[in-house]
C-alpha cells in the first residue's frame, strides 16, 4: 500500500485527456468479384523519437460494403504540445487472419495528425485515400470527441461523528485518505484531507478532485476511505475504513451516504463492537472543466503570430557561425524552431495565414531601427501563407535588413495584445511565438506588456536558440 505520508497531490499521476476517434469510409474500391469489399481500418501511430510506425488498433470488419461506418472507436491520449502523427490503412478482408499483408487487399491509406482532426470544423475531417496508382480509392472521414469522464471535476465535503478516541491525553486528530481501486485488486491513493485537531466530530473542508483520479471513469469502481488519527511522528493510528463508489457519492447528501467506519481488528476481537464512528457526506457536486478541445470544438480559432530576433548578436548571416546562416543544405536554428512549433500550431488555424515580424534590425532605405517589422515588407498585410510562407519571408528579410539591436520584446507583444483586446466573444485566441538568441534588453517594459496581456485571450511562447543565457532577471 502506498505511504500516506509520502502522498503529494500536486505530483500524483492522472490519466491524460482522451480523444475518441470514429471512422467512416465512402466510395471504397470494390475488390471482390461476386460481392462488395469487406473493409477494416488499421491505425498506426508514429513514435516521437524513433519515427517508426506501430499498430495502435483496428476497427471491426464490416462485410459487403463500400461505405462503412465503423462502430469500434480509437481512443487516444491527447497531448496538445506534441505532433501526434497518425496513419490509417484500409484493407479488404479475405481472411480473419491477423496478418494484414498476406491475407488482405490494400484499399488505400491517408496520413494526418490528431490535432488536425480536432482542429477541423466540428472536429470532423475528411481525407482522400491514396496509395494505388491510377485508382480513385475513395474517402475516409474522422470525427473526434473528448471523453467526458476525463474532465469531470467532483467537489465534496464530509464530516464524522463519534470517532474512536486514540490519543491518551486528548481527543483524536482525524483525517481521511481516499484510495482508487485498480483492476488487479490493489489500491492507489488519490486524495488526503486536512487534519482536524482534537475532535471526535470533525467537519473537513470541501475539496475538489478529478473524477478520473477518483475512479478512472468507472462510476461503479470501489473507492476505499481510511480514517486515521494524526500523530506528529508519522505513525498515524488507524481508526477504521469504509467503501463507496462515485455513483453512490453522486447521490449527494442522503441516508445512503452515511457510512459506518469499521475497524476489522476490533470487529474480530470484540463481540459487541458496532463501529468506530460514522462519516457523512454533506455535499457533492460535479462540474465539467472546459478544456482546449472544448474551445476548439466550439469554434475558437487560433491566430498564430511569429516574431524573430534580428539583432547583431546572432552574427553575420553570411557566416557559417551565425544563427541566421542560410545554409542551402540545412535549416538554421531559427528555421528549425519555427518549423517545430509552427507545424503543431497550424493545425488549429483554419486560414493558415500567419502574421510574421522581426525585431532589432535596421530597415532600408533609411536604416531606421524597428522592433516589429513585417517579414514580408507589407505593413498593411503582414500575413504569410503557412509555415513555409513564414520561412520564405524570413529568408527574404535576412537579405534586405541589417542586423542591429537592442533585443526589445515589448513592441511586438503590445502589437499582438492590441489585436487580442479587440476579441471579446471567445471566437479567437492569439499565440505569439518569439524566437531569440539572448537576454531581453527591455525587461521592465516586457514585464509590463506581459502583465497587461494576462487578461487577454493570448499566450506567449519564447524559444531560445544559441549558447546565451536565457534566464533574464
- Tell which CATH classification among 2.60.40.150, 3.20.20.70, 3.40.366.10, 2.60.40.10 matches the domain 18-148: 2.60.40.150
Domain ranges of the chain: 18-148, 151-288, 300-464
Average pLDDT value for residue range 17-41: 86
Supply the pLDDT for residue 293: 81
Other beta carbons within 10 Å of 399? 9
Average pLDDT value for residue range 417-432: 94
pLDDT at 472 over 80: no
Distances (CA, A) of 268 to 149, 259, 272, 275, 279: 39, 19, 10, 12, 21
> In the structure, what pLDDT confidence band is assigned to residue 123 with cuts at 50, 70 and 90?
confident
> In the structure, what pLDDT confidence band is assigned to residue 10 with cuts at 50, 70 and 90?
very low
> In the structure, what pLDDT confidence band is assigned to residue 333 with cuts at 50, 70 and 90?
very high
Supply the pLDDT for residue 256: 86
Other beta carbons within 10 Å of 235? 7
Q: Which residue has the higher pLDDT, 181 or 33?
A: 181
Which uninterrupted H or E stretch holds 265?
A: helix 264-269
Average pLDDT value for residue range 372-382: 95
Q: Which residue has the higher pLDDT, 23 or 104?
A: 23
CB 458 within 8 A of CB 417: yes
CB 173 within 8 A of CB 297: no
pLDDT at 336 over 80: yes
Q: Which CATH superfamily is domain 151-288 in?
A: C2 domain (2.60.40.150)
Tell me whether the CATH fold assigned to 18-148 matches the one assigned to 151-288. Answer: yes
- Give the three-state DSSP class for 264: helix
How long is the chain? 473
**Segment 202-250, tens digit of pLDDT:** 999 999 998 988 987 788 999 999 999 998 877 889 999 999 999 999 9
**Segment 456-467, tens digit of pLDDT:** 999 999 999 987
Q: How far apart (Å, rounded) are the C-alpha atoms in residues 324 and 28?
A: 48
Picking from 40, 96, 45, the residue whose alpha carbon sits closest to that of residue 71 is 40
**Segment 47-68, tens digit of pLDDT:** 877 789 999 999 989 888 899 9
- The mean of the pLDDT values for the chain is 88
Supply the pLDDT for residue 169: 73
Q: Which residue has the higher pLDDT, 5 or 446?
A: 446
Q: Answer positive or negative: Cα dihedral of 437, 440, 446, 447.
A: positive
CB 206 within 8 A of CB 154: no
> In the structure, what pLDDT confidence band is assigned to residue 14 with cuts at 50, 70 and 90?
very low
Q: For the full predicted model, state whether its pTM sits above 0.85.
A: no
pLDDT at 363 over 90: yes
Q: How far apart (Å, rounded) are the C-alpha atoms in residues 169 and 187?
A: 34
pLDDT at 17 over 80: no
The CATH code of the domain at 300-464 is: 3.40.50.410
Supply the pLDDT for residue 230: 92
- Among 139-148, 260-269, 430-439, the range scoring the smallest mean pLDDT is 139-148
Supply the pLDDT for residue 408: 94
**Segment 94-109, tens digit of pLDDT:** 765 556 654 568 999 9
User: HSE of 327 in the Cβ direction (CA atoms, 13 Å)?
Assistant: 14
Supply the pLDDT for residue 1: 41
Average pLDDT value for residue range 187-195: 90
Supply the pLDDT for residue 16: 58
> In the structure, what pLDDT confidence band is assigned to residue 125 with cuts at 50, 70 and 90?
very high
Distances (CA, A) of 414 to 158, 334, 422: 48, 22, 13
**Segment 242-300, tens digit of pLDDT:** 999 999 999 999 888 999 999 999 988 888 899 999 999 999 999 987 878 888 888 89
- Among 179-183, 318-322, 360-364, 417-421, the range scoring the smallest mean pLDDT is 179-183
Average pLDDT value for residue range 28-35: 78
Q: Which residue has the higher pLDDT, 103 or 320?
A: 320
Supply the pLDDT for residue 355: 96
Supply the pLDDT for residue 468: 67
Distances (CA, A) of 319 to 322, 326, 358: 6, 9, 20
Amino acid at each position: 500500500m502506498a505511504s500516506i505520508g509520502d502522498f503529494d497531490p500536486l505530483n500524483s499521476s492522472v490519466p491524460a485527456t482522451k480523444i475518441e476517434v470514429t471512422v467512416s469510409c465512402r466510395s471504397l474500391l470494390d475488390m471482390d468479384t461476386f460481392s462488395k469489399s469487406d473493409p477494416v481500418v488499421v491505425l498506426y501511430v508514429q513514435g516521437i523519437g524513433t519515427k517508426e510506425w506501430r499498430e495502435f488498433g483496428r476497427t471491426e470488419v464490416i462485410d459487403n460494403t463500400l461505405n462503412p461506418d465503423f462502430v469500434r472507436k480509437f481512443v487516444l491520449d491527447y497531448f496538445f504540445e506534441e505532433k501526434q502523427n497518425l496513419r490509417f490503412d484500409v484493407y479488404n478482408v479475405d481472411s480473419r487472419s491477423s496478418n494484414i499483408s498476406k491475407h488482405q487487399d490494400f484499399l488505400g491509406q491517408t496520413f494526418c495528425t490528431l490535432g488536425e482532426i480536432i482542429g477541423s470544423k466540428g472536429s470532423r475531417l475528411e481525407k482522400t485515400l491514396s496509395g494505388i496508382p491510377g485508382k480513385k480509392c475513395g474517402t475516409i472521414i474522422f470525427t473526434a470527441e473528448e471523453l467526458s469522464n476525463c474532465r469531470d471535476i467532483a467537489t465534496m465535503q464530509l464530516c464524522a461523528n463519534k470517532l474512536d478516541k486514540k490519543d491518551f491525553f486528548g481527543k483524536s486528530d482525524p483525517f481521511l485518505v481516499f484510495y482508487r481501486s485498480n483492476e488487479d485488486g490493489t489500491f492507489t491513493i488519490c486524495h488526503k484531507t486536512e487534519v482536524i485537531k482534537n475532535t471526535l466530530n470533525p467537519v473537513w473542508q470541501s475539496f475538489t478532485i478529478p473524477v478520473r483520479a477518483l475512479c478512472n471513469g468507472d462510476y461503479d469502481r470501489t473507492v476505499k476511505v481510511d480514517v486515521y488519527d494524526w500523530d506528529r511522528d508519522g505513525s498515524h493510528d488507524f481508526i477504521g475504513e469504509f467503501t463507496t463508489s462515485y455513483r453512490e457519492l453522486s447521490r449527494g447528501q442522503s441516508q445512503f451516504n452515511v457510512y459506518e467506519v469499521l475497524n476489522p481488528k476490533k470487529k474480530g476481537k470484540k463481540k459487541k463492537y458496532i463501529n468506530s464512528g460514522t462519516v457523512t457526506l454533506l455535499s457533492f457536486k460535479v462540474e465539467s472543466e472546459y478544456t482546449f478541445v472544448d474551445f476548439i470544438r466550439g469554434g475558437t480559432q487560433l491566430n498564430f503570430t511569429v516574431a524573430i530576433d534580428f539583432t547583431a548578436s546572432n552574427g553575420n548571416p553570411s557566416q557559417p557561425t551565425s544563427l541566421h546562416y542560410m545554409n542551402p543544405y540545412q535549416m538554421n536554428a531559427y528555421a528549425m524552431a519555427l518549423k517545430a512549433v509552427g507545424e503543431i500550431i497550424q493545425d488549429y488555424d483554419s486560414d493558415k495565414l500567419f502574421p510574421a515580424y522581426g525585431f532589432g534590425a535596421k530597415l532600408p532605405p533609411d536604416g531606421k531601427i524597428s522592433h516589429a517589422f513585417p517579414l514580408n515588407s507589407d505593413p498593411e498585410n503582414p500575413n504569410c501563407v503557412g509555415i513555409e510562407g513564414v520561412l520564405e519571408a524570413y529568408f527574404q528579410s535576412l537579405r534586405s535588413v541589417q542586423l542591429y539591436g537592442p533585443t526589445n520584446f515589448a513592441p511586438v507583444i503590445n502589437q499582438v495584445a492590441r489585436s487580442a483586446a479587440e476579441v471579446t466573444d471567445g471566437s479567437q485566441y492569439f499565440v505569439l511565438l518569439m524566437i531569440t538568441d539572448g537576454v531581453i534588453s527591455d525587461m521592465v517594459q516586457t514585464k509590463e506588456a506581459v502583465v497587461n496581456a494576462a487578461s487577454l485571450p493570448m499566450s506567449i511562447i519564447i524559444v531560445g536558440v544559441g549558447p546565451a543565457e536565457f534566464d533574464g532577471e
